Amino acid sequence: MINHHPKFELIKSFVNGDLPASLSAGIAIHADMCAVCQQTISQLTEQVAEHSFEEVYLDRFIVDNESLETVAAIDFNHMINDIVESSDIDIALPAVEKTVSFNDKQYTIPAVLSSMKLGKSSHIGKLTRSRILLNENEIHSSLLHIQPGGGIPEHTHKGFELTVLLDGSFHDESGEYVKGDFIMLDGSHQHNPVSTNGCLCFTVANDALHFTQGINKLLNPIGSFIY
Ligand SMILES: [Zn+2]
């Protein structure tokens, strides 16, 4: 069962269109698997739609009392035409299912990522990373695959690190994470994730990992690799 959800403030920014593409994708992927957040998103979307509707059309209804009814009736027709003719309405294309394979296993890529370009895969030990080419400067997005028994040495983050579990599970000091979990961490968190049975994650980070134990210098390549 999904236990980790985006915070309400983050969902609000998502609905308002204020998030970078990578974080938006993370929320959309999670919401595809989470009925609770899906409902929050549609409620907020409705509110935002109503609000912008009022902003655009309210001034048209402010008229003197005598002509109020006529003007309102005419404007209502205009309004419907505006909406029907609006080029803002996206025409949804049928989703094409795309798969990606890691370590001889095939995974279906979440619909929201299927139109994004994937970079080459690179490996370190039991980790494989495919960069998602979004060109968001310091924000890097990737698919990260961990083979059974693989993990990431204990670390913290200088910036933020978002992980959305697409398949499989992993655990750290705070517990077990399963498919669909949305895990947003920052410098106040320190953890050592390990995947017993393997997993595939969508990750977004805006800085390299910072290792907290032992041979930091030796681990730095892994930090840049994950970021
Ligand atoms: Zn949720």
CA of 123 to the centre of ligand 1 (A): 31
Beta strands in the chain (DSSP E): 99-102, 105-108, 118-124, 127-136, 139-146, 150-151, 155-157, 161-168, 170-172, 175-177, 182-185, 190-191, 194-195, 199-205, 209-211
Place of tokens 């910072």: 210
Summarised one tens digit per residue, pLDDT across range 61-89 is 555 555 555 555 556 667 667 766 665 55
CA of 193 to the centre of ligand 1 (A): 21
pLDDT at position 49 is 84
pLDDT at position 177 is 97
Q: Which regions of the chain carry the CATH code 2.60.120.10?
A: 99-226
Summarised one tens digit per residue, pLDDT across range 93-120 is 566 688 999 988 999 999 999 889 999 8
In terms of C-beta distances under 8 Å and separation of at least 24 residues, what long-range contacts does 180-185 make, across chains too?
A: 180/2, 180/30, 180/33, 180/34, 181/2, 181/3, 181/4, 182/2, 182/4, 182/5, 182/6, 182/26, 182/27, 182/30, 182/34, 183/4, 184/6, 184/7, 184/10, 184/160, 185/157, 185/160, 185/161
Residue that wins the pLDDT comparison between 211 and 126: 126
- How far is it, in rounded angstroms, from Cα 171 to Cα 193? 5
Listed range (99-108, 141-150, 214-223) with the worst mean pLDDT? 214-223
* CATH, domain 99-226, list 3.30.413.10, 3.30.2130.10, 1.10.1530.10, 2.60.120.10: 2.60.120.10
CA of 19 to the centre of ligand 1 (A): 17
pTM beyond 0.85: the answer is: no
CA of 165 to the centre of ligand 1 (A): 12
